[in-house]
Structure 1
């Protein structure tokens, strides 16, 4: 007798699903262009990689099957899609399948990776350059203002004759390859200017100036990346242009909370791939102990409210993760979740609030500073 509420189980197992290799993607665009298939295939074939792992964020995971099928067809390499959807590169999972390299798609914290060859692939979405330029001019009528232009090499080329003091950010992934605008050459870089490297971005600011002397124009949707920049460069005025809505606006970030005193601290390990994460964990354990507190360490993958609610003896958590994942909204959590910087402010009497916020825990390590690195030399 057939159950009216279910189909035959064998029919489900034998059912075939037709997947068109390259069609319209999650944003309605052509996947070959959106995911830069030609460039990624060249990366694989030029290095003769045989096993390739692809890592997608949650919102792009729906395109993983057609993208991997096209790359496999063009390169003859064996393709694996990683289950980890964090912005940090999961080199450990890639090594489990004996991968020769990793290709990371979408937004990334651009933290250094060391174990495997790595290629960052950013979505090449369409943008209305004319509307972006119009918004830029409305937000910055003064053509002499110092401006740092995030993610917008094309805009610099469009406005460079009018604005003399615009500096373009160039992606600089330590230990990795990446695909970015090829026309951004030495014309935008003055070899006598200061090289400013922060969060995987490189700026060549004018000689005698720092990044704090510039305003920031950010192109992209609001999210953790923008929040991270605004907290780290909180002396800079920010404005944004959203390509989805074609709107520009000024932004401010007012509130930076300090870590509260606590008797028992939970150290949340939110990364296994960011360089020096073990060092900052030991440093946190040391300052927590010297402040007369107890600490416990937790490694639990993706953090959520039910997981942390199981440990009622913990007064506050400190999250060790990449700069973007460190900025966790803990308003719904039973206990607050703070960054390593906030925990050091609470525990270390030698750390004083100066108005500069460090979202990258590596800035807390000995020999580092809380401001962007300014060095002299060629870009």
Structure 2
């Protein structure tokens, strides 16, 4: 440290005190401290200093054996960059027991050279592929905490089964949609978009409700909804809807009803991930019907005619003046959203503040006692 320049010495002090990612740039090179995505930089050479977090290699190897009792399992070991320094020791403990185990290597050279034949190079890592079917025939074991790196791996290699070991807790687990929260949010957004498109092509209005765990009391607040579609994990998708005011179905049941290209085969799917594009049970929607050829329908709620195709409606020809200015506010909202027509005829609209309209009164003491004998009540003596 004595021969270093004052700026670099101060930078090392900051790096040792705070576990953050810093960039130190000097004329023709970049010295990068902390976590990195390892994206190649073609113009400026980059030297990565990831840091080293402690890893209990023995406990990690024990968790691996618990997760993969079959010694012939084909497993690829991935790790966060801060644990890459301990992967050599972990490999020595497991390679003799597991002949088909493969350890990925972090590629720090920038720009990275071409991957040798038989290797996969992605996300700054090189993976020797020895399985006949490539990575699809392998399981993935990740050393590191749950985060963006693990989510990125699971989304990219979604045909592989994943497990992980968290060095901070010393626990190993099998990664599924239920336990990986980041992946769950990503896939939930994807299936929501798929269901919205499906309902739009079928001429149905859809609304997204975030209600947590559904129960009859929660869903009874939405009397105008004809049917609810529950987007949840496979184990929580099937509900007994006999107690609910409206039916509660799964995304697969909705697609059976609204996707003309899907036919009932007798097989039932509870995992909505199978319905997404690229999955094993995905069925493409048929071409959209032009609005001019759409079959009219009668709404059972309003009794008015409606068009069953809501996709690509023709642009309304409005006069230069605002056409909604001559109507009251409720009518204007009705033209914009059909949900406003429901609220217009509702007998209960929630609490209204009525600021300035309620007279101010002093606080008075309420009744005291229990329900069968308040103190201000007179009771006859026996």
**Which of 1 and 2 has higher RCO (CA within 8 Å, sep 6+)?**
1
Smaller-chain TM-score bracket: 0.3 to 0.5
Give the TM-score, by structure 2 length: 0.41
Give the TM-score, by structure 1 length: 0.41
